Amino acid sequence: MIGYGFMGASHSQGWRTAPRVFGLPADVEMAVVVGRNATAVAEAAAKWGWAESATDWREVIARDDIDIVDIVTPGDSHAEIAIAALKAGKHVLVEKPLANTVAEAEAMVDAAAAAAADGIRAMVGFTYRRLPAVTFLRDLIAAGKVGTVQQVRAAYRQDWLVDPETPLAWRLQKEHAGSGALGDIGAHIIDMVQFVTGLGVTAVTGTMETIVKQRPLLGEGSGLSGTAGEGYGDVTVDDLAIFTGRLDGGALASFEASRFATGRKNALTIEISGDRGALAFDLENLNAIQYYDRTAPAGLQGFTNILVTEPEHPYVAAWWPAGHILGWEHGFSHQVKDLVEGIVDGTDPHSTFAEGLTVQRVLDAVETSSENGSTWTSVPIGS
Amino acid sequence: MIGYGFMGASHSQGWRTAPRVFGLPADVEMAVVVGRNATAVAEAAAKWGWAESATDWREVIARDDIDIVDIVTPGDSHAEIAIAALKAGKHVLVEKPLANTVAEAEAMVDAAAAAAADGIRAMVGFTYRRLPAVTFLRDLIAAGKVGTVQQVRAAYRQDWLVDPETPLAWRLQKEHAGSGALGDIGAHIIDMVQFVTGLGVTAVTGTMETIVKQRPLLGEGSGLSGTAGEGYGDVTVDDLAIFTGRLDGGALASFEASRFATGRKNALTIEISGDRGALAFDLENLNAIQYYDRTAPAGLQGFTNILVTEPEHPYVAAWWPAGHILGWEHGFSHQVKDLVEGIVDGTDPHSTFAEGLTVQRVLDAVETSSENGSTWTSVPIGS
Amino acid sequence: MIGYGFMGASHSQGWRTAPRVFGLPADVEMAVVVGRNATAVAEAAAKWGWAESATDWREVIARDDIDIVDIVTPGDSHAEIAIAALKAGKHVLVEKPLANTVAEAEAMVDAAAAAAADGIRAMVGFTYRRLPAVTFLRDLIAAGKVGTVQQVRAAYRQDWLVDPETPLAWRLQKEHAGSGALGDIGAHIIDMVQFVTGLGVTAVTGTMETIVKQRPLLGEGSGLSGTAGEGYGDVTVDDLAIFTGRLDGGALASFEASRFATGRKNALTIEISGDRGALAFDLENLNAIQYYDRTAPAGLQGFTNILVTEPEHPYVAAWWPAGHILGWEHGFSHQVKDLVEGIVDGTDPHSTFAEGLTVQRVLDAVETSSENGSTWTSVPIGS
Amino acid sequence: MIGYGFMGASHSQGWRTAPRVFGLPADVEMAVVVGRNATAVAEAAAKWGWAESATDWREVIARDDIDIVDIVTPGDSHAEIAIAALKAGKHVLVEKPLANTVAEAEAMVDAAAAAAADGIRAMVGFTYRRLPAVTFLRDLIAAGKVGTVQQVRAAYRQDWLVDPETPLAWRLQKEHAGSGALGDIGAHIIDMVQFVTGLGVTAVTGTMETIVKQRPLLGEGSGLSGTAGEGYGDVTVDDLAIFTGRLDGGALASFEASRFATGRKNALTIEISGDRGALAFDLENLNAIQYYDRTAPAGLQGFTNILVTEPEHPYVAAWWPAGHILGWEHGFSHQVKDLVEGIVDGTDPHSTFAEGLTVQRVLDAVETSSENGSTWTSVPIGS
């Protein structure tokens, strides 16, 4: 595993847990975690249960005893590491977003395609897909429960930037983070809409907004260009992105990604409306979905709160009895399960790098639209 | 009262009930209801408790014993009747929208201004303002409970057009209805956002969409140009409008007006986010608001579900004890109360014709934006 | 109408509104309201729209122009007035509870039976039965949607006595009120359980509790024996009653009636569980029911939130479109509708005096059980 | 670890995860899991990550390299194993209930007291106490947020026995299971009420009920006396227990434990009402609590939905960011953390065997009351 931040902890929990719950078709050993700070990465390895730590990812990638490389570094290093790992014949899992730019993402798709010829798997970690409720949404839509999708409504709302004295961290600087709410949490809802409906976003109109335009600098010790020093510096990414997408087949989907939704902590909500029914989901209540069946008898229609904790539901049978809820982190175990099974079976588990590229292109088109007075902007198709 | 459709029933309930609950400063007599079909309007008058019925609104307006004219006809006749009534020295209540066009609305504002000089009151019936919960939202925002408004999210979602065999009624023809979801229910959320925040919409970017483009004609007997005959005819208004507005002071507000939100019956939802708190409301649960207080102690913050049924809440003291909920119709009684009190006091009750005009201009700007690739479009200010 | 308190206002709203909404088979005139204080009752008559007021109910009952007597006085006068009115050949509506004692209730049942032979109708006003959602619960259970009832859970929780300085009003004195939470709000849930399931309560075990045992006296002017004077006096009724009932067929039903449920304003909740499904209802959200269908496919089961505002639902077609919610008071209009239709049709509308008597007997058995260490106590059957 | 059923999987997840999340003050090694079936227990050990498996718990308890014995066998063997382990100088964790009888529980309390003199710790695993929301409830009540507790309402409702063809498993036979819903899930709510309020149950009145009285036998192969064979056999434990308890200080608490609450999967709900506020919790939504503050300004009171996922909340800081929810299983990791810290610190982590005994005595008193016509029955105090 390359990287050891918050996502390092989450991925470690997945690697540690999946084999103990699912009975995987191959043994998983947590070999080595890589980071620049030798002391800190050694502590992380010890705490999380990795056998070793290291500081040079290139050396680790070159080792024969390493089969899978899990990349949880910031987005600007994804392309370099992933391409090198694929070329070294390692299966690769990359945390989302696939990359910070469309060009990088395209290069990664090419590298994954070349590696696939040799039976090497590449996967981008849109983990929310593997929450049982979200996989179940996809299954229900595929089974025709909403009929033709006519409208989609998606939002991902957090509030950790409402305080104007929150300092100017690297996530708020375009040179480091690429974009703000759009790329960080907007990417999740774009992927989720495409995943559950099976429909791509073909064009967008959008508006990006920086609500608090200057924030306190972190001080000299921060070590980041643009954020060190005294006083206030400019926020150069978006706090809020509101956009509308056209889906394959013509339906409109509204999107909102906000770090200024006061009181909303991790409120990813999605609702898919069709001519036979509707489905809704809320990440703050992630063990349930809401299902409206338009084919039910008149007078008995309504949104049904389905607790997605039954053995019939995806991934659930390996866990606990009905009504015993899972947490946010369980998606990481499911991701490990599917990746390992894909490697053994020789099939590509979703989401592929090509799918990650489509998200990158939508993000790019939203930025272009926002810079051009919110005019409708096409999303390129194909590799 | 001119008109006797669904809104006629609602307004009649308001006129009948308000004096029995609030103890108004003037006696209210339900004198005459006017409609084109003599038999039908006589039946309506008898059922709803009006003393008389009539077929010529001009004659009624001319009567000395009439003080207030309540206009609940379709929007295309609002301007003519309201201007005539104001000129005849009658106080006027007009059901929303103020008119079908900006030009008509401007003429009505001028007429109201002229009449005001003679102590004549004019009011447009954005009834939802007078639900206790909505008035309370306004009061809380005015008292600083959300601080500076940073983001607003508003939607009005219904689903009565999801069935593609729903026929081509006049509401689906531009020549009769002006617009579709936008003007009918979008108008409500524009007004509510402006009312509760006290901030005007200054520019918009929007997209309007007709999802089902042809519907069954009503048959020869329908009597409406464009909708009679056999087979299918074109739907010429929007089923769905998604737009984003810029508010005074710079905050963004997202809006959605949909008749295709499967399973949502009358789901007007609004959420106002600021640097001190947030407030949310849902019309399907109209006796409550949700309040998030960012100034509460860490660890104790959350959305508080306030049942707006206490004597401290607007309009409630005259009704029932705490927890005894009010219905959708009660706004009509509150509207009568405020209008009658305004007439007696010689003050203009909101919402004024000038306020109604601002809504009309926002609707107009959304249409313009939608026709121009969703580019940002300014909303004119001032009369 | 005899009486003019809070229930007088509610009943007046029903008498005033029902004819305007439902098109009743007979004209209804609001003739006279009766009370002891001539000035106050005259004001009430004027405000609520009654033609006259009077102070002697015996004189009013004797009048030929009076057809229906609506009794909204405190429970200790119900028997005397109702029996006199029935003997005078008037149709009678009595607000719940039917009476304060089983003996009075039995006498009223006898009087109603005698009057019925002459085509005179008697009805006790368990108004909550006529909320559309509650009537719909009964219909669904009768249609087999929950199958065999196996368990019932009912509670009515308010919190207006939590403040220990709330004074010693007559409702807190046994000699005036009969009982406390049990008779006031416990009666509602007993009736509702029996009504929606169609099953009688045959035996009970219960505990009654006075949480705050002394409260401030009202002062010399209160005029009520036992409550006047300075200092504190004893509360002689229950604040809280918890009891369990055995239903016909053997199912257990749990009941709680509390005036000490902090934060609960008017929280009547009921849940009926059976071998084919379950149904739940909450009076603070009275336009909806929750329905769980055990016969739905595995994986798709859950509680469906049915908004009871569709034309297919009881009483709703005469009101507003789907999603336009009704309030607490609408049951009073529905009660008037059913009573007037019953009088015209010559049939007895529920709830009959005999049904009211069964509630009285259950209340009596709960008191007996509580006084006897909560041992199981039978409820007598039959008249 | 002795035992390897469902609770074995849960406890293993706790032992595996706690050291990786919390940084414990001592290393934890998962040494050996013990079960009667050598093959099955070896598979469990391999899957869950235990170093060894064994079939004789006495041998394992005798080993010098074992410090902690975790007992997850059925309740009837708890006493024997726990007492032996304590005598052998091992720290002991016992899954709830402490034992199947009061006598066994008393013997265990004595053994724990004796062992404590030698620095040996004993803990009973009422895991729900260590859900962040439940610990937070206790903290808020201890801090006076509800004031004096005046009323408590607790229920634990499941529905897995609604199907009458669910076979006669050992859990439905008194000789194997001790009791039914009462001992299995009723024990949880008794403990939770006592834990969060700090008040003991001093007396009870209760009713136990077997709703489906005969169920299909499991067949000859089942190996359990009383359940094998063809046809139907008697269910000898309760499906439903409804009881009311008196708490120290006088407040009443209502309890319901049901396996027949159709549609309720794991619905442990609790509400504590006091003179300053109220708190509520639902296990199916275990990352949140509801808090009503009676000291908030009039008009602003309501139940606040507090998402218990902030760093200020118990146990949460070691996990994920705000809004990233935890699952049912996380309590097992917290239990391991507190036990290991208690061992290192030389302090007894709750819940002690003495606390487990109080639950056992309440269960026993409910059975006694139910057998005696539901009369009030005292709960003995002290060891």
User: How far is D38 from A335, CA to CA, in rounded Å?
Assistant: 32
Integer-rounded Cα Rg, in Å, for chain C is 21
The DSSP call for residue C329 is T
Whether this model's ipTM surpasses 0.85 comes out as yes
Chain A hits for D163, Cβ within 8 Å: none
Q: Looking at the complex, report in whole angstroms how far the Cα of residue D249 sits from the nearest Cα belonging to chain A.
A: 34
B265 neighbourhood in chain C, CB within 8 Å: 307, 309, 322-323
- Facing residue for C209 by CB, picked from D162, D163, D252: D252
Closest CA to C58 of C87, C25, C27: C87
**Min Cα–Cα distance to chain A from D151, Å:** 27
> How does residue D219 score in pLDDT terms, banded at 50, 70 and 90?
confident
Q: Which residues of D touch C277 (CB under 8 A)?
A: 262-263
Q: Min CA distance, C113 vs chain B (Å)?
A: 34
* Rounded Cα distance, D22 and D333, in Å: 9
Give the bridge partners for B69, in sequence order: B92
Query: How far is Cα D46 from Cα B46, in angstroms, rounded to an integer?
Result: 83
Q: Hey, which residues does A33 pair with through a beta bridge?
A: A53
In this prediction, residues A54-77 reach a mean pLDDT of: 95
The B residues from 240 to 269 touching A (CB cutoff 8 Å) are 240, 242, 244, 251-252, 254, 256, 258, 260-264
Cβ of A207 within 8 Å of Cβ of B244? The answer is yes
Label residue A220 exposed, middle or buried (CB < 10 Å: 0-12, 13-18, 19+): exposed
Residue B241 belongs to what H/E stretch? strand B240-247
For the segment A10-50, what is each residue's pLDDT rounded down to a tens digit?
999 999 999 999 989 999 999 999 999 999 999 999 999 99
**Which chain B positions have a beta carbon within 8 Å of D310's beta carbon?**
298-299, 301
Taking a C-beta distance cutoff of 8 angstroms, is the pair B196, B272 a contact? Answer: yes
Considering only CA atoms, which of C47, C80, C71, C63 is closest in space to residue C125?
C71
Residue C351 pLDDT level (bands cut at 50, 70, 90): very high
Q: Could you give the angle at which helices D6-22 and D38-48 cross, rounded to 10 degrees?
A: 30
Chain A: closest CA distance from residue C136 (Å) = 10
> pLDDT at position B222, please?
58
Which residues have C-beta within 8 Å of that of residue D190, sequence separation ≥ 6?
D201, D245, D255, D359, D362, D363
Helix and strand numbers, DSSP H then E, in chain A: 11, 16
- Helix, strand, coil in percent for chain C, rounding step 5: 40, 20, 40
- D322 near A CB under 8 A: yes
- Beta-carbon pairs below 8 A across chains A and B: 116
DSSP, collapsed to helix, strand or coil, labels residue C90 as coil
Strand ranges (DSSP E) for C36-143? Answer: 52-54, 68-71, 91-95, 122-125
CB distance C306–A298 less than 8 Å?
Answer: no
Confidence (pLDDT) at D11: 97
Instruction: Count Cβ atoms within 10 A of the Cβ of residue A256 and give its class: 0-12 exposed, 13-18 middle, 19 or more buried.
Output: buried
* CA–CA dist D198, A234 (Å, integer): 52
Residue C199: what are its φ and ψ, rounded to 5°? -115, 135
- Tokens (6 digits) for A293: 């069946």
pLDDT value at position C178? 82
Asked if B304 and D299 come within 8 Å (Cβ–Cβ), the reply is no
Nearest CA in chain A to C304: A304
Q: Which residue has the tokens 């369990």?
A: C244
Interior/surface letters B51-73, b for 16+ CB within 10 angstroms, e for the rest: eebbeebeebbeeeebbbbbbbb
| The pLDDT of residue C7 is above 60 | yes
CB contact under 8 A, D328 and A326: yes
Query: Contact, D304 vs D288, CB < 8 A?
Result: no
Q: Does A23 touch chain D (CB under 8 A)?
A: yes
Is the pLDDT at A224 greater than 90? The verdict is no
Domains of chain C: 6-128 (3.40.50.720), 131-327+350-371 (3.30.360.10)
Confidence band of C383 (pLDDT split at 50, 70, 90): low
Any chain B CB within 8 A of the CB of C6? Answer: yes
Cα distance between residue B126 and residue D173, in whole Å: 65
Residue with tokens 């469902």: D6
How many CA within 13 A on the CB side of residue A97? 32
Residue D319 amino acid letter: W
> In the predicted model, is pLDDT for residue C109 greater than 90?
yes
Residue B299 in contact with partner chain D when CB distance is under 8 A: yes
- Rounded CA-CA distance C194/D266 in Å is 28
Is B23's Cβ below 8 Å from some Cβ in C? yes
Calculate Rg over the CA atoms of chain D: 21
Which residue in chain A is spatially nearest to D286 when comparing CA positions?
A325
Answer yes or no: do D303 and B300 touch at CB < 8 A. Answer: no
Secondary structure of residue D137 in the 3-state scheme: helix
Contact status of D50 with chain C (Cβ, < 8 Å): no
Q: Does B327 touch chain C (CB under 8 A)?
A: yes
C288 contacts in chain A (CB < 8 Å)? 302
Note whether C164 contacts B: Cβ–Cβ < 8 A: no
- Where do the H-state alpha helices sit in A23-167? 38-48, 57-62, 78-87, 102-116, 132-142
Q: Which residue in chain B is spatially nearest to C50 when comparing CA positions?
A: B20
Number of CB pairs, chain B paired with chain D, less than 8 A apart: 46
Q: Is the pLDDT of residue C227 over 80?
A: no
Tell me whether residues D320 and A309 touch, CB distance under 8 A: no
- Is residue C222's pLDDT more than 70? no
Nearest chain B residue to C310 by CA distance is B265
Among the partner residues D23, D266, D323, nearest to A324 by beta-carbon distance:
D266
**A224 or A144, higher pLDDT:** A144
Q: Output the CA torsion A339→A341→A346→A348 (10° steps).
A: -40
Chain C's closest residue to B22, CA to CA, is C47
Per-residue pLDDT tens for D44-96? 999 999 999 999 999 999 999 999 999 999 888 999 999 999 999 999 999 99
Considering only CB atoms, which chain C residues are within 8 Å of A304?
A: 300-305
Query: D219, D232 in Cβ contact below 8 A?
Result: no
Q: In chain B, what residues touch D301 (CB-CB under 8 Å)?
A: 304, 306, 310
> Which residues from chain D sit within 8 angstroms of residue A337, using beta carbons?
none
- A11 near D CB under 8 A: no
Q: Which residue of C has its CA nearest to B306?
A: C263
Rounded distance between C-alpha atoms, residue C53 and residue C32, angstroms: 5
Instruction: Determine the Cα–Cα distance for residues B57 and B70; give it in Å rounded to an integer.
Output: 11
Q: What is the pLDDT of residues D365-375, one digit of tens each?
A: 999 999 999 99
The pLDDT tens digits of the residues spanning D326-354 come to 999 999 999 999 999 999 999 999 999 99
- CB-CB neighbors (< 8 A) of C301 in chain A: 304, 306, 310
Is there a cis peptide before residue B378, judged by omega within 30 degrees of 0? no
Per-residue pLDDT at D176 exceeds 80: no
Q: Which chains touch A (3 or more CB pairs under 8 A)?
A: B, C, D
C346 min Cα distance to partner chain A (Å): 30
Task: Look at residue A222 and tell me whether its pLDDT is greater than 60.
Answer: no
* D30 at B interface, C-beta within 8 A: no
Mean pLDDT value across residues D287-307: 97
Q: Digits of tens for pLDDT over chain B (383 positions)?
A: 999 988 999 999 999 999 999 989 999 999 999 999 999 999 999 999 999 999 999 999 999 999 999 999 988 899 999 999 999 999 999 999 899 899 999 999 999 999 999 999 999 999 999 999 999 999 999 999 999 999 999 999 999 999 999 999 878 988 878 889 999 999 999 999 999 999 999 999 999 999 999 999 987 655 555 666 779 999 999 999 999 999 999 999 999 999 999 999 999 999 999 999 999 999 999 999 999 999 999 999 999 999 999 999 999 999 999 999 999 999 999 999 999 999 999 998 999 999 999 999 999 999 999 999 999 999 998 75
Contact across the interface for B320 and C329, Cβ inside 8 Å: yes
Whether residue B305 and residue D303 make contact (CB cut-off 8 A), yes or no, is: yes
Q: What number is the average pLDDT over the span A82-111? A: 96
Q: What is the mean pLDDT of residues D139-167?
A: 97
A226: pLDDT strictly greater than 70: no
DSSP H helices in B28-77: 38-48, 57-62
Interior angle at CA D71, CA D65 and CA D77, nearest 5: 120
Spatial CA neighbour of B135 closest among B277, B327, B331: B331
* Nearest-CA distance D173 → chain C (Å): 21
Average pLDDT (C36-51) is 96
